[in-house]
A and B are shown apart, each in its own frame.
Chain A
Amino acid sequence: MATFSIEVNDEKHEVNVDPQMPLLWVIRDVVGLTGTKYGCGIAQCGACTVHVGNTAVRSCMFPVQSVGEEKITTIEGLSKEGDHPVQEAWKEIDVPQCGYCQSGQIMAAVALLREHPDPSDEEIERTMTNICRCGTYNRIKKAIKQASTRV
């Protein structure tokens, strides 16, 4: 066990955990923010995507000790009112079915648009590798394009 001082969504937290504990579980079970989801635990599905600094990471395989000084942003911290252009586009295109994968999808999409503000279909497909069992992929693609006109 060790104590780590991490900043999640602009709030500081002291957490006393196993240094190997993946950030996902620190966020969910220790900090108590449950918007970030568990889907596979092996960096395959992307349900656990958060931003460490400006980078999208699959937090289920990212040990808390690797966070360092970087600030963490989860879906809850993306915007105050839930009105980030990507969130807005998600609502307008009505993307979610069960919704479980969507916070990870949104976090991945925000990072994508940071890199490629006007992404091609190819860029979207190459970057957006998160799994959605409900099959919302086409609406996700559409929402990313819609958001890209506004970010």
Chain B
Amino acid sequence: MKKSVKTLNRRDFIRVTALAGGGLVLGFNALLSCSTQADEGKVINLNAFIKIDTDGQVIIMNPNPEIGQGVKTSLPMLVAEELDVDWTDVKVEQAGLDTQQYTRQIAGGSGSIRESWDSFRLAGATARAMLIRAAAAKWAVSEEVCGTEKGAVINTQNGKHIPYGELVVSAASLEVPTDVTVKSPESFKLIGKRVANIDNQAIVTGQHKYGIDTKREGMHYATIIRAPAFGQVLQSMDDRDTKNADGITQVIQFDNKIAIIGRSTWEVFQAAKKVKAEWKDEGVLEDTTGYQEKLKLALSKSPTADAKRKDGNVKQALSGASQLVELSFDAPFLAHNTMEPMNFFAHVQQDRAELHGPIQTPERTRTRIAALLGLPEEKISIMMTRMGGGFGRRLMSDFVEEAALVSKLAGGIPVNVIWSRESDITGGFYRPMYSYRYRAGVDGQRKLVAWHHRSVGVGAAAASADSFPAGAVPHFQVDTEVYETPIPTAPWRAPTHNFIAFSEQSFIDEIAHKTKQDPVAFRLELLEQAKANPVGKVSYNPDRFAIVIKKAAEVSGWGKSKGDSVFQGFAAHFSFETYVAEVAELVKQEDGKLKLKKIYCVADCGTVVNLSGAETQLEGGIIDGIGHAMYAELTLTKGKADQTNFNNYRMIRMSEAPEVEIHFIQNGEKPTGLGEPGLPPAAPALANAVYAATGIRLTSQPFIKSGLFA
């Protein structure tokens, strides 16, 4: 990994793009300090990540959007570690979109920690080096004798120290060093510790401002009426009653939608219910039951696209196999249901626009808004608020575009456009529906010799080419295709993985049972294969995968009897560069009903940055994964969502959440993300436990429909 840039001039804009296999994506002008500020201000920017005021207050910037994944704590921890400041003395500030200073200001793909590990530490180390240089100059000693501790430079020969606050002005005027190295892991003081969410105090006192809390002088509230069904167009509307309703200032028709603008959220919500709009069906209004049939039909035909992966000759191997195993799986649409419904503040004026709210993809959104409004990008500011969840919904920018349009069409007013929960659930961007079919062939020695995955997804492709056991099976083929739909779909926490893992891990369990092998031993043997005789591309490290699986078996007491009524199921999945194995433990009650009690989880995410954050991400991902697999689905009748709010779209509650026990594999590897990887193995672990308890194989979600659960 390249740690420095050789020729670096103060005002140069040098961007180090991702190196092969690596992730150094720091805009290097981010390391430059701003001397003009050093002359004028009390708060000095040492670089884009670090501000220190002359009284010694250290402020670390978090450039990435915070959606509950914890980056506003963990990313600044990387900087603080290298800067050598006490975490309790650090303040963290959220940066807005600033593509001059930062790269990759995005929340997605569990990538923030993975992509920032080198660059953010380098930012801290570089600032520290400049502070040392400033102190050495002041003392007229060599930099070699200087160290740092708790926000001060120490002269190791005489024990004298100068706090950073007294050095920051002179440090900021120095050339940015280019030969800085970062700490070795043995000397980490902060990384790996249990650090609480930096915003806890503000959250538990109700002071933290989410997008929905945005208020400005002269601000209006707005909400949008959308077509009741996908595929309908607005014919006419009668807004006489609405316009005259208390608190309503404007009603605007645009883009097949109607915006209601007024002085309070409730008043616009109420008024929206009173608008009499005529909608006309255009084309066929689709049903989810219809989709299921269409997907089945698509699966019965030969694939319309080339295979996504093809090792050996699956067809031949299947026909020559001594035993065949087959299973089909179906996934429903899912809504995102972030607890904070979609919303955005916009103030669009003649020559500029201010946008403020919850968005996972500010950079891409700004480009869209610029095109939409015909404004240059530099005239558009975007501030990312802490989000009441993202889960992929806020990768989309539809709600930002709407807010910008409403502000503009309403005469350039400042407006906060807030979706009702009903709009949020029925307004689209669902996790795609999928239909999968698996066929496997096993030889006379109970060895898996052929694997065929055939799938179709509504709105998005449903398969990944390299998912385990790819690489471990001599004849392996993945065929997938998309069924186009007018229903908007979107990534949803652990996209594709969220259902791939369920089906694949259930199918592996099925093969193991049908061939009378222990599901854990069977997986380990496959990993041996992938190591000894890899077939095609192997995207995972078989050793790391095996260690996680073995550890999960060990901590869960896999294979040991826990009494007649306790049953376990195993699943392991590699996603976003993180290895996770989970064991679900359920109890069969006296009435025969099942109750999930516990999930054991072992993760290899390389170096753990924030132990508390890491655990909570896994625990949350598991409970989220169980909740959706157990209870959630979004169905459509004639293009209209049947579920409209939490009374008919069931979310998991506390009494249904399993206990979770988490273990990490400590191997000193580069850290990877955890926002998503905990979720995929949860559902198959549970389904496999259900199989162990009942012999019934769950192949569709939500599981609650099986009638097996208490």
Contacts from A to B (Cβ < 8 Å): 1, 18, 21-22, 24-25, 28-30, 32-42, 44-45, 47, 74-76, 78-79, 82, 87, 90-92, 94, 96-103, 106, 124-126, 128-141
Contact B657 A138 (CB under 8 A): yes
- A-B CB contact pairs (8 Å), 15 listed: A21-B264, A28-B213, A29-B265, A29-B266, A37-B340, A39-B421, A75-B206, A97-B70, A98-B388, A98-B389, A133-B389, A133-B624, A135-B620, A137-B652, A137-B657
Interface residue B208 (Cβ < 8 Å from any Cβ of A): yes
Pairs of residues from A and B, 7 with the lowest C-beta to C-beta distance, nearest first: A35-B206, A100-B388, A98-B68, A135-B623, A75-B206, A135-B620, A34-B213
Within 8 A of A (CB), among B614-632: 616-617, 619-624, 627
**Nearest-CB distance from A3 to chain B (Å)?**
14
Q: Nearest B residue to A76 by beta-carbon distance?
A: B206
B221 — nearest CB in chain A belongs to which residue? A29
Q: Does B699 contact A (CB under 8 A)?
A: no
A-facing residues in B237-273 (Cβ within 8 Å): 246, 263-267, 269
B386 sits at the interface (CB 8 A): yes
* Contact among A29, A87, A100, A137 with B264 in the assembled complex (CB-CB below 8 Å): A29
Q: Which residues of B contact A41 (CB under 8 A)?
A: 269, 420-421, 645
Contacts of A134 in B (CB 8 A): 68, 339, 389, 620, 624
How far does the alpha carbon of A106 sit from the alpha carbon of B651 in the complex, in Å? Answer: 19
Q: Choose from B200, B338, B612 the contact partner of A133 (Cβ within 8 Å).
A: B338
Q: Please give, as numbers and ranges, the residues of chain A lying within 8 Å of B653 by CB-CB distance.
A: 129-131, 137
Residue of A nearest to B390 (CB): A98
* A91 with B339, Cβ < 8 A, contacts A38-B212, A42-B646, A137-B654 known: no
Known A-B contacts A97-B68, A134-B68, A136-B616; A35 and B622 likewise in contact (beta carbons under 8 Å): no
Q: Within the assembled complex, what's the spacing in Å between the Cα atoms of A126 and B212?
A: 30
Min Cβ gap B374→A in Å is: 32
Q: A38 — which chain B residues lie within 8 A by C-beta?
A: 212, 265, 341, 418
- Chain B nearest CB, measured from A77 CB (Å): 9
B209 within 8 A of A: yes
Shortest B678–chain A CB gap in Å is 9
Instruction: Tell me if A82 and B205 are in contact (CB < 8 A).
Output: yes
- B149 is an interface residue with CB less than 8 A from chain A: no
User: What is the number of residues of chain B that contact chain A, defined by CB distance less than 8 Å?
Assistant: 65
* A75 to B208 CA separation, bound complex (whole angstroms): 11
Any A CB within 8 A of the CB of B10: no
Judged by a CB distance under 8 angstroms, whether B396 is at the interface is: no
Q: Which residue of chain A is the closest to B269 with respect to CB atoms? A: A41
CB-CB < 8 A to B622: which residues of A?
A: 135
Q: Does B175 contact A (CB under 8 A)?
A: no
Say whether B70 contacts A33, CB under 8 Å: no
Report the minimum CB–CB distance from A109 to chain B (whole Å).
11
Most buried by A among B70, B266, B269, B386: B266
The yes or no answer to B660 lying at the interface (CB within 8 A) is: yes
Scan residues 654-671 of chain B and give those whose CB is less than 8 A from a CB of chain A: 654-655, 657, 659-660
Q: Is the interface of A mostly helix, strand, loop or mixed?
A: loop
Closest chain A CB from B510 CB (angstroms): 28
| Nearest CB of A to B113, in Å | 15
Question: Cα distance A141–B623 when bound, in Å?
Answer: 14
User: B292 to chain A: which residues have CB within 8 Å?
Assistant: none
- CB of B387 within 8 Å of the partner chain: yes
The residue that B386 contacts in the complex, of A29, A47, A99, with Cβ under 8 A, is: A99
B108 to chain A, nearest CB (A): 15
The 8 A CB mask of B184-202 against A (1 = contact, 0 = none) is 0000000000101101110
Contacts of B645 in A (CB 8 A): 40-42, 44
**A90, B206: Cβ atoms under 8 Å?**
no
User: Which B residues lie within 8 Å of A39 (CB)?
Assistant: 339-341, 421, 646
Chain A hits for B659, CB < 8 A: 138
Given contacts A38-B265, A42-B645, A91-B196, 16 further A-B contacts (CB under 8 A): A25-B264, A29-B265, A38-B212, A41-B421, A45-B651, A90-B204, A94-B196, A94-B612, A94-B613, A96-B203, A98-B386, A125-B655, A133-B391, A135-B624, A136-B616, A138-B659
The reply to whether B646 and A40 contact each other, CB–CB distance below 8 Å, is yes
Closest Cβ of chain A to B13, distance in Å, is 34
Report the Cα distance A126→B654, complex, angstroms.
9
Q: CA A91 – CA B198 in complex, angstroms?
A: 10
CA of A102 to CA of B627 in the docked complex: distance in angstroms? 19
Question: Given the known A-B contacts A134-B620, A135-B620, are A87 and B391 also in contact in the complex, defined by CB atoms under 8 Å?
Answer: no
A39-B421, A136-B620, A138-B660 known; A125+B654 contact, CB < 8 A? yes
Does B455 interact with chain A (Cβ within 8 Å)? no
Q: Which of B201, B213, B619 is close to A135, meaning CB atoms less than 8 Å apart?
A: B619
Query: What's the minimum C-beta distance from B513 to chain A, rounded to whole angstroms?
Result: 30
B207: min CB distance to chain A, Å? 7
Question: Is B438 close to A, CB under 8 A?
Answer: no
In the complex, the answer to whether A36 meets B206 with C-beta atoms within 8 Å is yes
The answer to whether A76 and B266 touch (CB under 8 A), given A94-B200, A135-B624, A136-B616, is: no
CA distance A124 to B209 in the complex (A): 28
Q: In the bound complex, do residue A74 and residue B206 qualify as a contact, i.e. CB atoms below 8 Å apart?
A: yes
A24-B265 Cα distance, complex, nearest whole Å: 10
Which residues of chain A are near B646, meaning CB under 8 Å?
39-40, 42, 44-45, 131
Shortest Cβ distance from residue B637 to the other chain A in the assembled complex, whole angstroms:
21
Q: Which residue of B lies closest to A17 (CB)?
A: B264
Q: Which residue of A lies closest to B68 (CB)?
A: A98
Q: Are A76 and B200 in contact (CB under 8 A)?
A: no
